[in-house]
Amino acid sequence: MSSRKSLGIAVALFVVVSIVASACQAGTPTRAPATAVPTAVPTAVPTAAPTEIQAPTIPNCGTEPIVLNAYFETGFPVPKQLAEEFSRQFPNVKWDIKEDQFTNLINATPRLLSGDNPPDLIRLPTMVSFAKEGLLMNLDGYAAAFGWDQWPVPQLNQNRVAPDGTRGSGSLYGMGLNYSLTGVFYNKELAAQIGMTEPPKTLAEFDELLARAKAAGLLPIMMWGSAKSGMGLAFPLQHLMAAYGPVEPINDWIFQKPGATIDTPSNLKAAQHLQKWIENGYFPPDINAIEYTDANARFTQGEGVFMFNGDWQNGAYDAAMPGNIGFFLFPPAEAGAPPAAMSAPLTFGIAARAKHPDCAAFFFNWVATDPTARQINVTGFGSHPGGPADLPLPTVPPGSVTNETLAAGAVVGKAGTTMDFIANATSSIFAQGWTPELQKMVAGQQDAAGLLKAVQAEYERELVMER
């Protein structure tokens, strides 16, 4: 997420479908044209007997040696674990994996996609400009070949780009390795010390818990804020936005719908609420210097009652704090209103000029349908593996926080209150907008109104550049 992820989702809205998944077949994978949709499924042609039809060829990795060129995000081991398992099942496929911070990928992705050795697989911080510039493979042909179009609609929609540059519809340019959910994790022992017997049902109740933690000499909320990782305060800010207002305008802004703005009255209330938390000392005083991995390490060592994060961290939390970590959806401002959450795919794409696009697409399909791959996703990330609706969820250890996040995903899925991450609105909005402006707010150099106006101005500047 990077920031997680640039962040957020489609966890519980699933329809029943069936899919034909192929094992790696003989033959060298075909090279899909850089500017055209991959023609993965040829039209059936008659064989010797007029009534016989030649079976379509499913894209695969063949049997000849292949090295997949991949760029992953630093701090997330599960993609590498999936790559290792893939090579165990298909020994002809090896990997050349490079890793970088999420914010660095934002700046490096255009160069990587247009370079002499473009990646077969790359973690995508954003995709609209890359799709419009022809740097990303159009995956519509693969969606037809593998049957992805028959999967639950929300799984693919966030990775679609329309001809006008808006997201949420149009051609497919990315796939999720899993589908994550964000909310509030808490240290059960510390929460008990401040009298928390159940998760808060309203924002006011959560505020009361934060005040109790501060009064007890505990750090209320552990978060990160270093520019290297991207400012983590975007997580609580977006949850506050959804607590004060509906999620639809937030998604419209992220998907670049015409006329969308982040500078709204309800978002101003949210930003003012976050500013109050900062002024009350609810975050670490050195937050602007804390990287994502350091924040998680400090949280699991007992620093911080609460932490805003995503279910991709479940495995690490359960390993470090077995039985002592819980999760709840951020509560609404008004009692009885449905909670909301960021819920988005961990998006990867294929470069338009990738050397092995068929094998990369086969990997996408394998991640979502292979039982071992799905188990790796749930055990390591704690996220929903997606895929066909009729596939059972992998087993979850009793008492693990993953049980809580999966149940929470069903709640927001049914309510229809999921959002993508505000860091994903444009290619540089996280690095050039949210991160520096939130860092200024921490330093007392920016207020809530100025934050939203500055980010909206950066958003509009980038829209002009991207279009």
- Answer whether 209's CB lies under 8 Å from 196's CB: yes
Quote the Cα angle for 61-66-70, to 5°.
95
- Answer whether 96's CB lies under 8 Å from 144's CB: no
- CA distances from residue 17 to 180, 212, 292, 364 in whole angstroms, order as listed: 22, 49, 38, 18
pLDDT of residue 213: 98
Task: Give the Cα separation of 59 and 410 in Å (integer).
Answer: 33
- Answer whether 285's CB lies under 8 Å from 457's CB: no
pLDDT at 288 over 80: yes
pLDDT of residue 56: 56
- DSSP secondary structure, 130-147, as one string: HHHTT-B---HHHHHHHT
H or E element at residue 186: strand 175-187
pLDDT at 461 over 90: yes
Tally the C-alpha atoms within 13 A of residue 438's C-alpha that lie toward its C-beta: 30
**What is the pairing mode between strands 66-73 and 121-123?**
parallel
Q: Which residues pair with 310 in a beta bridge?
A: 182
Lowest-pLDDT range of 167-181, 337-351, 382-396, 437-451: 382-396
How does DSSP classify residue 306? E
H or E element at residue 96: strand 93-100
Residues 6+ apart with CB under 8 A from 79: 70, 72, 73, 123, 177, 346, 348
Task: Give the Cα separation of 433 and 126 in Å (integer).
Answer: 14
Task: Give the Cα separation of 260 and 262 in Å (integer).
Answer: 7
H or E element at residue 37: none
Task: Give the Cα separation of 298 and 304 in Å (integer).
Answer: 8
- Answer whether 161's CB lies under 8 Å from 128's CB: yes
pLDDT at 427 over 90: no
Residue with the bigger pLDDT between 309 and 17: it is: 309
In which residue are the tokens 């059960």 written? 188
How does DSSP classify residue 458? H
pLDDT of residue 346: 87
In percent, how much of the chain has pLDDT > 70?
88
What is the pLDDT of the chain when averaged over all its residues?
86
Task: Give the Cα separation of 242 and 247 in Å (integer).
Answer: 6
How does DSSP classify residue 167? B
pLDDT at 61 over 50: yes
Nearest alpha carbon to residue 153 among 37, 12, 361:
12
pLDDT of residue 216: 98
Task: Give the Cα separation of 142 and 355 in Å (integer).
Answer: 16
User: Can you tell me the mean pLDDT for 34-56?
Assistant: 40
- Distance between start and end Cα atoms, the chain: 25
Residue 319: is it exposed, middle or buried by C-beta count within 10 angstroms (0-12/13-18/19+)? Answer: exposed
For the four alpha carbons of 114, 163, 426 and 9, in that order, the dihedral sign comes to negative
Rg over alpha carbons for the chain, rounded to the nearest Å, is 22
**What is the pairing mode between strands 341-349 and 418-419?**
parallel
pLDDT at 31 over 50: no
Nearest alpha carbon to residue 100 among 253, 203, 8, 229:
229
The number of residues in the chain equals 467
pLDDT of residue 379: 84
Tally the C-alpha atoms within 13 A of residue 139's C-alpha that lie toward its C-beta: 32
pLDDT at 14 over 70: no
